[in-house]
Chain A
Amino acid sequence: MSISMTKEAPVERAEAPVQPVSWRKRIGTVRMYLGVLIVLVWGLGPFYWMTVVAFRDQAYTFDSTPWPTHVTLDNFRNAFDTSRGNNFGQALLNSVIIGAATTAVALLLGVLAAYALARMAFAGKYLVSGLILSASMFPAVVLVTPLFQLFTDLGWIGHYQAMIIPNISFVLPMTVYILASFFAELPWELEEAARIDGATKFQAFRLIMLPLAAPAVFTTAILAFIASINEYLLARLLSGEKTRPVTVAIAQFSGNDPLVQPYAAIMAAGVIVTVPLVIMVLVFQRRIISGLTAGGVKS
């Protein structure tokens, strides 16, 4: 159907004055924009509602007026308030520390493995890629009991490494797969050409291939960071009061009354976590989609 839209559009425009657009085509257009509207509401609706409530006076949290009313910044102040046992500011910092460390190490290890898988022929290659793929299929709960005991014995509960090290392994399979499928598509013949022109192997890599591979590495970094920020199950058991990431902090957010959930402040906290991610998505939309769909379609 998309073909009919693109290919016949000019013809239709040329003939429009003489021959009116067929009703069939009009219904098609209306249906398409209806579909677009539904998908837009799907994507933005709940996020919009979270934002409206975050900026609304908490006395009106359950008011269902669809546009912003009783606008205030109080909920954001409450989100960062530490007097009720919450420490959202610290949690934000913790998530950034855990996410950044996880992403950096996973990329460092992942780039090497992806290069080998994409560019080198070696015995056991399929075994390696099979192992890495099957590692991504393990349910995290299988790991939780032994890791909880091990990290308790090591005295790691409440330290960052208790979350960074498991997170690295969770994002590694994804990192390797996305990088390998990007690397396989790079124009490696340019490396050969540089070598012929007298560049050393290292120069060819650093001056020619690295700049070409940089966007792929960057895209993978975004995906690894988002995946790492998202982790909740292990962090719930392995984090301490000081190292709690935002996922755990938001899940356990408490208010004045233990029986009443402070939803206004929780929505404000949710907006603070989500807005940077939404900006990232808007800016890097094309790259993120290419990263997400790499590997998935070809295999």
Chain B
Amino acid sequence: MSDPSGAKQRGLALELRQSGKAWLFVTPVLVALAVVIGYPVVQAIIMSFQKDSGIDPATGMFVEGGGAGLSNYTHWLLQQCNTLGGVVACPTGTLGSQFWSAVGVTLFFTVVTVSLEAVLGLGMAVVMGKTFRGRALLRAAVLIPWAIPTAVTARLWEFMFQYDGVVNRVLGTHILWTSDVWASRFAVIAADVWKTTPFMALLILAGLQVIPADVYEAAKVDGASAWQRFVHITLPLLKPALLVAVLFRTMDALRMYDLPAIMTLGNPSTNTLSILVVEQVRQGPNSAAALSTITFLLVFAIAFVLVKVLGANAVRTQEEQRKAN
């Protein structure tokens, strides 16, 4: 208010000019994202309300498509399939009948892999954070699972999990890891945990290194044991970094596709939502679009809850830390 109006106007003009330039710099990225992500998301929603062209099983006539109302959604959510006898529950073995099991498998994979990766990643980060000769080599070794393309990882673990493979030999078991219902799920989990834990460990390690050394020294002087130091210092101070890592990994795990699709090809007990969408694309794209929209809403809802719960938690932790300081 007390500024001379001329100077204020000049400042505003400068700000506007810089804003314009900044927008010029970010526009190409926004356009690229709008074309390849924005357009398909909107298009998928439009498609999900259209009928798939093909033979209508209810009438035996070829239909060109047209409005479908919510029928593509009820097909998946309420398991309603169109047949000659009208709308019935989807018969077992069809893609439609696999919806709820795919939801279950996706959530199961997410919860188990992310928890295992967080716990094992923490252990790995503690080991990697120690000072010893060859530490750089250890960190490079840990990056190898991360660098191998997922498709190669899938074939490698599929091979190791064969009936005559090295896993059964080492464990002394005779498990059909790629075809048995639960064994195949744990095979996929093992491969995912192997590949992704190092990434988690590196994120956690970066968080560990921010914790000031004198805090530990003080606790040691006060006679805290290693376990007490871990529980009362490391964990609380690590919480923000850990929560961010868990959030990112959860988003990733919810869209898991490559590992189960390749490792246990054709085994429905490891079908995630992403696999179901891809199988459906060639059978009926509009129905696939409805399924992918459901998947997206599910991921979005989980992300929202996590950000609300964990995000608030992370902010609170940081505030407590600030107050304590």
Contact = CB atoms under 8 A, between A and B. Distances in A.
The reply to whether chain A is a binding partner of chain B is: yes
Contact of A297 (B136, B213, B244): B244
B30 interface: yes
A149 B251 CA distance: 26
B289 interface: yes
Interface stretch (B84-92, B107-115, B148-156): B148-156
B99 to A, nearest CB: 14
A193 interface: no
Interface residues of A, number: 95
A280 B147 contact: yes
A20 interface: no
Contact residues of A: prevailing secondary structure: helix
B210 interface: yes
B23 interface: yes
Contact of A49 (B131, B147, B166): B166
Contact of B245 (A6, A176, A296): A296
B130 interface: yes
Contacts, number: 293
Interface string A163-174: 001101100110
* Max count, chain A CB within 10 A of own CB: residue among B128, B151, B205: B151
A138 B130 contact: no
Given A232-B257, A293-B202, A297-B203, A146 B141 contact: no
A16 interface: no
B122 interface: no
Interface in B15-49: 15, 18-19, 21-23, 25-26, 28-30, 32-33, 35-37, 39-41, 43-44, 47
A145 B254 contact: no
Contacts of A120: 18, 21-22, 25
A1 B47 CA distance: 57
Interface in A128-160: 128, 131-132, 135, 137-150
A274 interface: yes
Contact of B156 (A32, A50, A246): A50
Given A39-B124, A42-B198, 13 more contacts: A33-B132, A42-B124, A47-B145, A62-B164, A138-B296, A139-B292, A139-B295, A141-B295, A142-B41, A143-B40, A176-B29, A250-B152, A281-B143
Contact of B32 (A137, A168, A233, A250): A168
B166 A142 contact: no
Contact of B41 (A42, A49, A143): A143
Interface stretch (B58-66, B75-83, B277-285): B277-285
A146 B166 CA distance: 42
B29 A109 contact: yes
Interface in B159-202: 159-160, 162, 164-166, 169-170, 194, 197-199, 202
A126 B109 CA distance: 33
Nearest to A5: B131
Contacts of B33: 131-132, 135, 169, 172-173
B241 A42 contact: no
A70 B108 CA distance: 42
A247 B150 contact: yes
A222 B209 CA distance: 24
A232 B26 contact: no
A139 B151 contact: no
Contacts of B130: 1-2, 5, 32, 35-36
Interface in A205-259: 226, 229-230, 232-233, 236-237, 246-248, 250-251, 253
Interface stretch (A81-89, A184-192, A283-291): A283-291
A261 B100 CA distance: 31
A115 B273 CA distance: 37
